[in-house]
Structure 1
Amino acid sequence: MASPSATIRPTRLSLAAVLALGAAAALYVALLPWHSADADAWFVPWTQIIIAEGPVHALAEPMRVTLEGTNGHANYNPPYLYLLILGSTAAGTLSPFAIVKLVSVAGALLCVACAYGLLRVFLSVEASLAGAAGLLLLPTLVLNAAAWGQVDSYWAALALLAVTAALRGQFALMMAAFGAALAFKAQAAFLGPFILYVVLANRAGWQTVLVCAAVYAGMLLPAWLAGRPALDLATIYLEQAQAYQWLSMNAPNPWAFIQYFHLMSLTTGLVVGFSLAAAAGLAIAGLAARVRLEGEGLLLLALVSAMAMPFLLPKMQDRYFFLADILSVVLALASRQRWAVGAAVLIQIGSLGAYGAHMIGFLHGRFIGGIAMGVAFAILVVQLRQAVGAARHAHVRTEAHCDGRRLP
């Protein structure tokens, strides 16, 4: 069967890619001067310390910063600091603010490159290039990198690489990419149920887990060699988890409503939310005992995993659906099914609403986003159930054919 892009001429796809790249370049340049609270209060001061005191000092201990009542330190995992150190080599030419933005935009390009690799599993070269170029215009990718100056693109890029490797049966690469993604941001764990499913369904062997652990540890090694205590490095994410004591931080999920209407205390919400997320994660991984998904079904499962965790967990932030934003567009481009396109649109609305709440104070955006995310999540769960049923039915028919039986 021809790929969905077979009906579109390569020349038109190439033209679409060129136009998308041109529009993206203009949009990113226009948004680069935008100052965000994260960049001004955290990333720029960290970069200034790196430039003033050198990379070894910056890695050896938390970089304490005090700005207008903000007393914090570099509680991001070291891989982001490595990028700022690399960017600081241009300190003679670029300002610390420009370095922060350069690092963020480079992450967006890396993310799009990894998305291209994932699209190539399903589409032609021309269609994949056009789709990847179009992703540069994805609102949350543009805002995250060019305006906000955040670095979610890096862990998301590595997560996309892990999904691509899973689809290609390259399980060692999958675990290496997943370990590297975890080293950048704890949010990469949202893909954990999917990774566990792939390992169980393919009997990939628990030795692959060692690959993940080794890569994660290797990503922290330079900071340890610079003098940062191993215990500090091992507990950075625990410290991050304790930083904010709210059920929702503008995340477009049910906890925005629960917090607004004071329906649960923080303690109760944590118990309920983590219980629901754990049950969902086990259900996703447990599908390995029932069916082995491939192709679009496996991609759908990755999206459900990336969607379920931030949707069900409390204490989530506005950016935490970033991987789902990108995977949903990839699935829509790969399948061209109406439900996939509809889900992708709803997920973009959901994340954009949350961004609006944080970036411009449009607080109703988180509630609009929560509703959009809820509808999208329901669509995806229904479609996953159908995909599992179809895969099981196909497996039964195959076994019957091999046994010489006849089925209707």
Structure 2
Amino acid sequence: MEQTTMKKSILLITPENRDIHRIRRRQFNNFTQLTMPYLAGFINEDHYKITLVDEYNQRIPYHEKFDLIAITVNTPNAAHCYAISERFRESGASVILGGPHVTLLPEEAMVHCEYVIIGEAEETWPRFLEEFYNGKAQPKYSSDKPPTLEGLPLPKRGLIKNRILTKGAVIASRGCPYCCSYCNLKQIYHPKFRCRPVQEVITDIRNISSRYFVFWDDNFFGNHQYAISLMKELKSLGKKWAAQVTLKDCNDVELLKMARDSGCIYLFLGLESFSAESLSLVNKEINKIEDYQRIIGLIHQHQISVQAGIIFGFDTDDKSVFEKTLRWCEELGIDGATVSLLTPLPGTPIYEELKRKGRLLSDDWSHYNGKTSVAFKPNHMTPEELFEGYMWFRKNFYSLRSILRRLTVSKTNVFHNLLMNLGYRWSLK
């Protein structure tokens, strides 16, 4: 008789601690985190029964029995993830941790689990799953060479619960050619910029039921010819999309025209600061302050909205930076902003510099979320003044007065912009 294999049960967790959850839960434009649905695509369902939980809108089922728990860990969630891990280990489950924080600090993570995956997981994750199923798993798996992005499985979006419009996240490329000192991409990814085959990306997008999706790439315009080839194929799908790009690449009219014609409604630009000195300090001189107005105007001319990444806490920032930044944003018609406190993530050049100078305030990773805590001593302010200024900016940027002023300048995607701005405003309540 043919022997029937016994399935093991695996729980995939997208964690979200309480501080971050309080910020995100009321916003309207939070697309699902793609990591776990994506990793689920590699799982052999003849061997495993899969459950996926996203703490954004679900509770972790501690009362259920699982053979294996897999958690993706970023720095501000580290302590939270370790607590989840320990609780499941007490019930007899095995735990594997991966993600950015584990890649940066694997020895720390290994104290709290049986297995870790260091770096990119396209090759190591399937190997681990097979070896775990056969009782031969090793404690540590690491990626020694850049995994190819060809032939990747589709994310198992059917495992995502209670999301209608925000299931759609897609990977087209990986990496970024730049080296900003506060960014940890160079520490967690192999340096080579890689792209998925265009038709595989299109198949992935067709698999999204919603009309709206977001590219989860670090720099969607990182390879111009690839981006153009992909956007040509996107045109026939009738979808609306957003992506993260650099300001410099938006100087290319052909890229912007193709983006508009293929359904782009939003571009996230890491402006970070309106001070050339600040940008120089963190190795982001690709942003030229004198180009902001012209290029943002060019984006708006193509009926694409701008979501600006803004960071407060650079060493040149003083208490005047908050009002100055608000004035710039209103004059330029910045449609929306993702505002953060400078966060010295472990492994980055800025972390090493602040640690060397004795300016880090805590070794509690939950303070490194860029939203609710200042993790270092600022240069021209107290930590309290930095946080108060950051909150003042958020409150005033999403005031009704500022929303109306910015949208009047932008005149772009007014309905979407108004809805998004009101979502951020509501999240501040």
TM-score, normalised to structure 1, is 0.25
The structure with the largest strand share of the pair is 2
TM-score, normalised to structure 2, is 0.24
The structure with the largest helix share of the pair is 1
Higher relative contact order (CA 8 A, sep 6+): 1
